[in-house]
């Protein structure tokens, strides 16, 4: 098992956002280290660019910080894709959330930090925790 948690995209976004009450929690999680997948990095770039309208140099600087703080990202594979389909079908979650859970499980993470999935739920041996839940 991987002692480091898996971090969903929203944790990374909040860690690099100023003025959001969730930022301090996200920064603390990021500083403790963790695991992500290439999907999470792709989503981080997409949200940073399209939704937050950050310039490329800021996004690339943030990715450099992530490479320093986190273990090497888990690649997307056909196995993860197929597992995600089963998770989405069987547990009524989105396909992309299924990819996150599948990646966390494949990485051996015991905990997945995300605000997008049901807090305290467990899927594939991964405990989902919303670090922003009150």
Each residue's pLDDT expressed in tens, for the chain with a length of 134 residues: 668 999 999 999 999 999 999 999 999 999 999 999 999 999 999 999 999 999 999 999 999 999 999 999 999 999 999 999 999 999 999 999 999 999 999 999 999 999 999 999 999 999 999 999 97
CATH of residue 51: 3.40.50.1010
Tally of domains within the chain: 1
- Residue 37: inside a domain, yes or no? yes
- Residue 1: inside a domain, yes or no? no
- Residue 32: inside a domain, yes or no? yes
Q: What's the confidence (pLDDT) of residue 14?
A: 97
- Residue 134: inside a domain, yes or no? no
Q: What's the confidence (pLDDT) of residue 134?
A: 77
Residue 108 burial (CB count, 10 A): 14
- Residue 35: inside a domain, yes or no? yes
What SS3 class is residue 123?
Answer: strand
Q: What's the confidence (pLDDT) of residue 3?
A: 82
Residue 92 sits at φ, ψ, to 5 deg, of: 55, 45
State the residue range of the domain holding 46: 6-129
User: pTM of the entire structure?
Assistant: 0.94
Residue 132 burial (CB count, 10 A): 16
Q: What's the confidence (pLDDT) of residue 2?
A: 67
């Amino acid at each position: 098992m991987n002692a480091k948690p898996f971090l969903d995209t929203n944790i990374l976004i909040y860690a690099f956002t100023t003025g959001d009450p969730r930022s301090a929690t996200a920064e603390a999680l990021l500083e403790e280290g963790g695991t992500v997948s290439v999907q999470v990095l792709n989503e981080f770039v997409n949200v940073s660019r399209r939704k937050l309208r950050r310039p490329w140099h800021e996004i690339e600087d943030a990715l450099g910080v992530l490479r320093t703080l986190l273990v090497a990202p888990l690649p997307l594979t056909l196995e993860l894709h197929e597992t995600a389909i089963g998770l989405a079908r069987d547990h009524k979650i989105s396909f992309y959330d299924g990819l996150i859970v599948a990646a966390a499980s494949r990485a051996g993470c015991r905990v997945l930090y995300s605000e997008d999935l049901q807090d305290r739920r467990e899927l594939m041996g991964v405990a989902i925790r919303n670090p922003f839940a009150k």
